[in-house]
Structure 1
Amino acid sequence: MASLLGFGQPFGGVMQTAFVVQDIRASITHFQRDCGAGPFFLLDHFLGPDQLYRGAPSTADVTIAMGFAGHMQIELIQPLDDHPSVYRETVKQRGYGFHHFGIACADVDADLPGYVARGYELAFRAAVPTGGSVAYLERGDAAAPGFLELIPATPGMDSHFTVMWRASLDWDGTDPVRPFI
């Protein structure tokens, strides 16, 4: 059996479903009211360091909210500027909605060549505060409806997301939007 993260998802498996949204607060309300997810942890601005979009430096700024529905993390991403990014690209090509599945990786750099060998291309890379760098991959075919994000499952990521997941257990609807921890 695969090793589990503190919030019950396996290394190497889908731990996150992400959506690009036009209005993050309206989307948080939808996921709480209609999908039973929450609470959500909001980061008003995330301008990740060392962003590379399609091989070129990028400075895209986004608002991010994360919450849980059961063991699945839901990530909502609202672009805040018109700088080129995987988020603006998705909105232009398909509109708002599904963006990526997040895969927990013990070592993103070690796992990346296997995905490339299966036909994926690197579209975006950025450092994250919990350690390491995420990598967004795409195949560009109907079998892959969006990006895959390889997420470094560092101890910092695991503890950070586990705190969010624990907040969702028996959540009574109070304090529905909280500061990103």
Structure 2
Amino acid sequence: MNSEELRSIQAPLKEKYRNEPDSAVVTLQAEGKIGEGISCKVETGRAISEAGLHPATGGDGSLACSGDLLLEALVSCAGVTLSSVATAIGIELKNGTVKAEGDLDFKGTLAVSKEVPVGFRNICLSFELDCDADEEQQKTLLKLTERYCVVLQTITAATPVNSEIINSR
């Protein structure tokens, strides 16, 4: 896909969202079934992913760790966003790799220490690219990718999450 094709696909959507702002609000959903042992099966729309405890919290490593899934969501969203932005601004990507690494201190997760926060201490997102962009264009590409990556913005904005228990009886 080139920038003209991308613009022609997105132009009517942008116009619709300008004229009908509420039509741009879409609710995405995920659902999981709590499984045997300590696991949760999540239908991703393309496959079923089964998550369980990380080995650092007592898991055997046979199930996906939710922290890994978060990083995978970040990598996939950042990769799609970077590719879309590159196309839109006329940068040819010949090849590329997106990596996310995050440090967790499981003393917080396992309640060994109340001073240690639960969750990632930090996350590093990197892009190794083979492209025709000069240094300034690469800076623009990174800036726009960070700006428009849904998962990255959700993480960095600390989006509020409302939790509730609904009794199924």
TM-score tier after normalising by the smaller chain length:
under 0.3
Please report the TM-score for the alignment, with normalisation by the length of structure 1.
Answer: 0.24
Q: Which has the higher contact order (CA 8 A, sep 6+)?
A: 1
Higher gyration radius (CA): 2
Alignment TM-score, normalising by the size of structure 2:
0.25
More strand by share: 1
